[in-house]
Each structure stands twice: as C-alpha cells, then as structure tokens.
Chain A
Amino acid sequence: MSKMNDMDPAGAVLWAPHDAEPDMIATRTLGFWLYLLSDAMIVASLFASYLVLNHRMNAAAGPTAGAVMHPLTALWETILLLSAILAYGLSLVALKRKDRRGVLAGFGVACMLGLGFLVMEGHEFADLALRGAVPERSGYLSALYTLVLYHAVHIVFALLWTAVMAVQVARQGFTPNVVYRLLNLKLFWFFQGFIWIYVFCFVDLTGALHVH
C-alpha cells in the first residue's frame, strides 16, 4: 500500500553522485514563457473589455467599430509586423550557424520593420485622434486604444531589447547568458505575432463586419 514497503533500504542510493545542475537555458526560457502566458492573461482581459465595450451603447453616439477600422491598413501593418518577426527568427537561424554578422543583420532588419510598423500604427491612431475620436470620447474608443496601444508598447520594448541584445552580441559574443536572452527575445517577438493576429482578426476584421 504505502510506497515505504516497496523500497529496499539496503541497496538504496541516498545521495546524488553530482549536483544535478538544472539546464540553465531551459530553466530561464521556461520562466520567461510563463511570464508571457501571464501577459496573455492581461491581453485576454483587454480583449474581454473590448468585447464588452464594443456595443452601440458604449460608443456614446461617437464612432463605432465600423467607422474607425481600416482593415486594409491593418493588413499592411500585419505584413510589416510579421516580417519583423520573421527577420528575428531568421537571425536565430544564423545563431545556429554561429554567424554573428547574420544575427546582427537580422536584428537590424527586424528593428527597421518593427519601427515601420510602429510608425504606421502611430499614423493611423494620430489620424483617428485628429478626427476627434480620442480615447476620452467613449468607452468603446477607450477600449480600442488601450488594446491596440498595449500591443504597440510591447513592440517598443521588443525594439529596445533587440537593440540591447545587438550590443551584447557584438561585445560578448554567444555566451550562455546572451544565448538564453536571445531565446527569450525570440519568444517575446513570436508572442507579439500571436497577439497581433487576434487584434487583426477580432478588432479590425470584425469591426468591418457590423456583427455587434
């Protein structure tokens, strides 16, 4: 019944022959992944808020989803963002080949494309704000701005982080600490792709649908 009876104390190994050092890189990336999942819960709450506040009543006689969405612009933003993510992914392929210049080139392309994404999105929202659709206008616009800009803030941090990692790769090379950070940054970039496709599908596309 109890496990105690099963084990013969005579031949048992009592002490590990060596310290079982956990795999540092795998441990660090798992922790960062858990952080990303917790971040996903914040995004889920923002999506839930958006869903609740995306009602005619929450527009408070201001613009509704159909009036502020430009799905075609959003598609261009999608292309820019996914390309930036792909560029970062390809720089990790260069990492596999120990190609330091390839890694740095990938970083550069990713940063440029990410910056392009931010400029385009900033332009879109500045345009919206100039037409009077500011977040203070209605509950719907508050939810819209917050959800989209929360993603944009992540991209800003992704760019900042990529720049820092470019310095580290250039100065320190591929030490274990640099490598685990590169892997974490990969998770971070790829995760933004996830969030963006939901923004694209459930904010931009359904906004054009007039389902609500």
Chain B
Amino acid sequence: MSTECQDPLQHPQVQMAHGGQYIAAYVFSLILSALPLFLVQEHGYSDTHLLFVVIAAAAAMTIIQGYFWLRLDVSRTQAWFTASFILFIPLVVLTIGLTAWMFATLYTRTMIPTLMHAPGFTH
C-alpha cells in the first residue's frame, strides 16, 4: 500500500499525541472526581442538588477527556470520530432515559404499595 512506504509515525493520529494535554485531562479528571466525592461525603446539600453536581461532574469529565485525551474535535483527521461519538450520545440517553421513565411509571403502577414500602422481607 502507498501508506506503507511512508513513515507511519508521521501519521497525524500519531503526531497529535500531546503530553501536556494528557496530563491536564488527568489532573482535571481527578479534581472532578474528588470534588463531588467530598460534597457527597459531607452531605451538606440536599440529595437532589448533589445528584445534579454528580451529573455535572460526569458531563464535564466527558468533555475534558473527550477533548484532551481522545481529541474529539472537528479537524480533518478526527471529524468522523467526533461525528460518530456525537451520534451515539442521543442513543445512549434514549436507551437509559426512556427505560428509566418507563420503569418508573411501571413500578408505581404494578407494585403493591404495602409491599413496596415494607422494610424488606422480614419473615
């Protein structure tokens, strides 16, 4: 193949490795993991607020790791990676979100209330 004659190390996907960015993503990820953990352990806020913090941290880490580690940008080499990744986000959200919604209504409608709030099966 024609590419085999060239030096594979000159390929843009090899050349885009960047130590500084990798380390930056690493540090940010650790901070974003530790911060919500700290908040959760403290229990200073309501659980719903904390849930939002956790979701926000996960989203932020997705963006940081996606950009600095996987280099999901719109450059010519990476455009298809980014496009397919973005295509899959709604699919994942639909799978999890619609399932959760469906079962939330199903649980409220098909579980017998007295059994649902009992403190477990004691007998």
Contact = CB atoms under 8 A, between A and B. Distances in A.
A57 B95 contact: no
Given A57-B107, A57-B116, A51 B99 contact: yes
B96 A208 contact: no
A168 interface: no
Contact of A93 (B4, B17, B34, B57): B17
Contact of A209 (B9, B15, B40): B40
A3 B4 CA distance: 38
Given A51-B99, A201-B36, A193 B47 contact: no
Contacts of A71: 37, 40-41
B95 A61 contact: no
Nearest to A194: B65
Mostly, the B contact residues are helix
Nearest to B99: A48
Contacts of A47: 96
B74 interface: no
A112 B54 CA distance: 29
A146 interface: no
A209 B58 contact: no
Contacts of B69: 85, 89, 190, 193
A93 B65 contact: no
Nearest to A38: B88
A21 B70 contact: no
A98 B122 CA distance: 65
8 contacts: A21-B3, A56-B116, A56-B120, A82-B30, A183-B13, A190-B65, A200-B33, A209-B50
Q: Shortest 10 CB-CB distances between A and B: which pairs?
A: A61-B120, A179-B8, A89-B22, A201-B58, A176-B8, A61-B121, A92-B17, A44-B92, A48-B99, A93-B19
